[in-house]
Amino acid sequence: MKDIEQYLRQNKPETPDEGQFIIETNARLSNVEGIKGTVDAERHRGRLMLVIALVAGLVIGCLFTLFVVFFPVPSIETELSAFSKAIVSLKEWEALLLVPVAACAIALGVFLMNRKKEVL
């Protein structure tokens, strides 16, 4: 801000009242600084919320995964065909199969947030 003021003082732009011009310019620059501060605060808040959501998702996912591992649903041990056994196995490991899907979703969210930040 001082550089702009120094530049204007050196070049002496033609204005009806030089003092009033500097005051108005400083007021406009202060408004711009205020807007910049608000935008920076919003970005910081958004990043913080993203980190909180990521940590919460990871903790809850880990807790549910541990719950499924330690308290599995017993399967019926009858004579089943290979296809039926595969379906039963998929149902037993269903929660663990969702972990890579959730990880991909989180990675995609982080990637899109970074890409959005680059566009801005």
Give the pLDDT mean for 10-39. 78
Give the whole-angstrom CA distance, residue 33 versus residue 36. Answer: 5
Query: Is the pLDDT at 120 greater than 60, yes or no?
Result: no
In tens, the pLDDT along 36-89 reads 889 999 999 989 999 999 999 899 988 988 888 888 777 665 566 777 777 777
Contact predicate 1/34, CB 8 Å: no
pTM score of the predicted model: 0.42
Nearest-5° Cα angle at 68, 66 to 74: 145
Q: Where are the domains of the chain?
A: 2-119
